[in-house]
Amino acid sequence: MRNLVEIYLYFALIVVTTSDKKVTDKSWWQTASFYQIYPRSFKDSDGDGIGDIKGITQQLSYLKEIGIDATWLSPVFKSPMADFGYDVADFTEIDPIFGTMADFDELMEKSKEIGVKIILDFVPNHTSDEHEWFIKSVQNDTEYADYYVWHPGKVTENGTRIPPTNWISVFRGSMWTWNENRQAYYLHQFHYKQPDLNYYNPKVREAMKDVLRFWVRKGVAGFRIDAVPHIYEVAPDSDGNWPDEPRNYWENDLEDYNSLQHIYTKDQPETLEMVYEFREVMNELDEELGGYQHIILSEAYTDIDILMQYYGNTTVDGAHIPFNFELLSNLKSWSDANHYSQLIHNWLDSMPAGRTANWVLGNHDQSRIGTRLGWERIDMINVMLKTLPGASITYQGEEIGMTDVWISWENTVDPQGCQSSMQEYERLSRDPARTPFQWNDEHQAGFTDGNTTWLPLHANYKTLNLKRERGISFSHLNIYKQLQKLRREKAMRYGETDVMAFNRNVLAIKRYLSGERTFIVLLNINDDYEAVNPKAAFIDLTDKLEYILTTDKSIRQKGDRVSSDYIELLSKEAVILATI
């Protein structure tokens, strides 16, 4: 008898562990909280007014405090900083502004101790014009001559030389710049100091894969891959020429990137193949190093059907996390709940089977959430970001509700702003979202000991800063921290998701997993008072629900109970409830 019971228990255990494993059988990144650090503006350790690697190392415990699994750093590599590091002069050296390789190694060591993974920014599309490869390419060095895209240009009837195509760069003006030494034009999809690499050259592809190998062997967990859609241009014809791109007649300014349809310079099929090859390198490194999966997060502002192909298909894997910019690019301050729901569904319903969702609400190229969608929606957006399934990505400062800083034309430094005009720069400059992190209300907001900062601090730092928010129970920071705790709940991590608009104003997210309590997330997006009935909308809800998270907009408190068929929501209120 005793044996039988033991045998029974033994099998019961196997069943429980295997079924448990099935649900929770996810790799670290699939439910991770990612945090983007813009190193110039995070923390300055040496008083020059520019953030650096030592600064990041000093603040690693802060990332732990807010529950971050991995942080991706905008470029810290050697660079003349024409695009603040996105113009890389040496892919395997640290720029002195950010520190030394020893500083980087120390960062790796400390991050391992603390348990926060480090992800680097990989910029495959272009190098700096000060990169050794480009300097040698200019000299027509046999090894490097074809590392970049060169063309002698066209000669018009009256004998003037003009660029080979009408292509316009992302940062305005021709995509071609004349080089006196080589007597040819070179292609640059971005700034003229960012010449595009020639990916039809297999040596280039291999050299760039070696960059990935170098850093992974140093211990990084993966890469955010920059400007992916721009990697390839259409292949030249047999005479070495390219076609012009057709006009977009809604944009009259012929120097503006939007004036052309980028059918030959963006989203070429070869680019997808390249992403799959980068993934293959990651897979090889996983095998070589063991431990855990090394990942790629790909940056592409492009159509959703192309983004879905970045994931890979049934025969090949692609990016683990193709950034989901649906909400970032399309939500407006006037969006209603149907719009929110539609944008969320766009991603969830298009994802190929077995892939992982991700949600990006901000980055160093975009206006901050509080400025873009209104400061009253800061908590609501974080609630949504943290309760949707899969990986969440937060841009530094969004967890404390930092907003954009207005910067005068004279003080503008972003090339995208500087290459426009005094009339246009405010629409284009990315400086406003890149200002220093607001650590406290002391000297320079605790960002630097120096007397200057490379971009101005926000005037509100005396009241809006990390130190102060630590002490306020309903601060953005403390809401964010609570959300991070909630993310550890099994239903949030591994559960199913239903998303719907209850009406024009209220968005509802249900997260559920059998055997676990169900969570109901409600966002009242606008200013009207609302009363909703989740019980009627969602099956299997208990008669009562308990408040799990409230914000400063709520009159209810955490722990309060309420009937699941009648829930009142005040203006811009976001709450999380759970079944009992």
Alpha carbons 37 and 465: distance in angstroms, whole number: 17
Alpha carbons 558 and 552: distance in angstroms, whole number: 11
Backbone CA torsion sign across 276, 281, 284, 289 = negative
Q: Of 134 and 502, which CB lies nearer to ligand GLC in the complex structure? A: 134
Examine residue 469 and tell whether it contacts Mg ion (CB under 5 A).
Answer: no
Examine residue 52 and tell whether it contacts Mg ion (CB under 5 A).
Answer: yes
Return the bridge partners of 117, or none.
Answer: 70
Q: How far is the CB of 299 from ligand GLC (least distance, A)?
A: 6
**Number of other residues whose CB lies within 10 A of the CB of residue 295:** 25
Longest dimension (CA), the chain: 103
Residue in the block written with tokens 């009207």: 528
**Number of other residues whose CB lies within 10 A of the CB of residue 505:** 21
Q: Which span (50-58, 119-127, 162-170, 421-429) binds Mg ion, by CB under 5 A?
A: 50-58
Beta-carbon-side half-sphere exposure of residue 327 (alpha carbons within 13 Å): 28
Cβ-contact 515, 491 below 8 angstroms: no
Q: How far is the CB of 244 from ligand GLC (least distance, A)?
A: 23
Cβ-contact 530, 524 below 8 angstroms: yes
Q: Of 232 and 519, which CB lies nearer to ligand GLC in the complex structure? A: 232
Cβ-contact 186, 177 below 8 angstroms: yes
Q: Is 500 helix (H, G, I), strand (E, B) or coil?
A: strand
Q: Which residue is nearest to Mg ion (CB)?
A: 52
Examine residue 50 and tell whether it contacts Mg ion (CB under 5 A).
Answer: yes
Contacts of 212 (CB under 8 A, 6+ apart): 122, 223, 278, 281, 282, 285
Q: How far is the CB of 93 from Mg ion (least distance, A)?
A: 17
Examine residue 560 and tell whether it contacts Mg ion (CB under 5 A).
Answer: no
Q: Could you tell which of Mg ion, ligand GLC, none binds residue 123, using a CB distance below 5 to 8 A set by kind?
A: ligand GLC
Q: Residue type for 102, please? A: A
Q: Could you tell which of Mg ion, ligand GLC, none binds residue 83, using a CB distance below 5 to 8 A set by kind?
A: ligand GLC
Q: Of 86 and 454, which CB lies nearer to ligand GLC in the complex structure? A: 86
Q: Of 190 and 215, which CB lies nearer to ligand GLC in the complex structure? A: 190
- Which one of the listed residues 52, 69, 299, 326 is annotated catalytic? 299
Cβ-contact 322, 307 below 8 angstroms: yes
Q: Could you tell which of Mg ion, ligand GLC, none binds residue 233, using a CB distance below 5 to 8 A set by kind?
A: none
Q: How far is the CB of 365 from ligand GLC (least distance, A)?
A: 5
Q: How far is the CB of 403 from ligand GLC (least distance, A)?
A: 20
Q: How far is the CB of 565 from ligand GLC (least distance, A)?
A: 46
Q: Which helix (H) or strand (E) holds 11?
A: helix 2-24
Would you tell me which residues interact with ligand GLC (CB under 6 A)? 83, 86, 123, 190, 226-227, 299, 364-365
Q: How far is the CB of 429 from ligand GLC (least distance, A)?
A: 12
Q: Of 49 and 370, which CB lies nearer to Mg ion in the complex structure? A: 49
**H-type helices in 434-527, by residue range?**
466-470, 476-486, 490-494
226 is catalytic: yes
Examine residue 365 and tell whether it contacts Mg ion (CB under 5 A).
Answer: no
565 is catalytic: no
Q: Of 445 and 513, which CB lies nearer to Mg ion in the complex structure? A: 445
Backbone CA torsion sign across 44, 48, 52, 53 = negative
Q: How far is the CB of 96 from Mg ion (least distance, A)?
A: 10
Q: How many residues bind Mg ion (CB under 5 A)?
A: 5
- Which one of the listed residues 69, 226, 379, 399 is annotated catalytic? 226
Examine residue 46 and tell whether it contacts Mg ion (CB under 5 A).
Answer: yes
Return the bridge partners of 162, or none.
Answer: 154
Alpha carbons 432 and 220: distance in angstroms, whole number: 29
**Cα three-residue angle 127-34-226, rounded to 5 degrees:** 15
Q: Could you tell which of Mg ion, ligand GLC, none binds residue 44, using a CB distance below 5 to 8 A set by kind?
A: Mg ion
Q: Which span (40-48, 168-176, 321-329, 461-469) binds Mg ion, by CB under 5 A?
A: 40-48
Residue 437 tokens, joined = 């992190």
Examine residue 48 and tell whether it contacts Mg ion (CB under 5 A).
Answer: yes
Q: Could you tell which of Mg ion, ligand GLC, none binds residue 227, using a CB distance below 5 to 8 A set by kind?
A: ligand GLC
**Cα three-residue angle 340-66-393, rounded to 5 degrees:** 40
Q: Of 119 and 486, which CB lies nearer to ligand GLC in the complex structure? A: 119
Residue 111 tokens, joined = 């991050």
Q: Of 116 and 428, which CB lies nearer to ligand GLC in the complex structure? A: 428
Catalytic residues: 226, 299
Positions in the binding site for Mg ion (CB under 5 A) = 44, 46, 48, 50, 52
